[in-house]
């Protein structure tokens, strides 16, 4: 993959787009040194899952409010 990234860097250098070329060069260097680009993983929410809203009142959860009654 580093070879393809180097080719992209050369392509953009030839086009005069040095910022993009330097990004691809850095990714190629990282690929060669670590064996792969560093990725950031984000949690995957299953399809159809509904995220529930944060249900707090004054920082208290519904169970804490129920106990206070």
Answer yes or no: is 18 within a domain. Answer: yes
Domain extent at residue 8 = 1-38
pLDDT tens digits along 40-60: 566 677 787 777 777 788 888
Q: Is residue 48 part of a domain?
A: no
User: Does a structural domain hold residue 63?
Assistant: no
CA atoms of 3 and 34, how far apart (whole Å): 14
Domain count, the chain: 1
In a domain, 22, yes or no: yes
pLDDT score, position 61: 81
The predicted pLDDT at position 62 comes to 81
Distance CA 69, CA 20 (A): 61
Over 90: is that where the pLDDT of 30 sits? Answer: no
Q: How many Å separate Cα 26 from the centre of its chain?
A: 17
Does any domain span residue 14?
A: yes
């Amino acid at each position: 993959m580093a070879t393809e990234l180097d080719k992209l860097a050369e392509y953009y250098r030839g086009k005069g787009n040095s910022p993009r070329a330097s990004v691809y060069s850095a990714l190629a260097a990282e690929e060669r040194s670590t064996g792969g680009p560093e990725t950031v993983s984000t949690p995957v929410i299953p399809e159809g899952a509904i995220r529930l809203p944060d249900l707090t009142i004054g920082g208290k959860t519904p169970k804490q409010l129920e106990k206070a009654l």
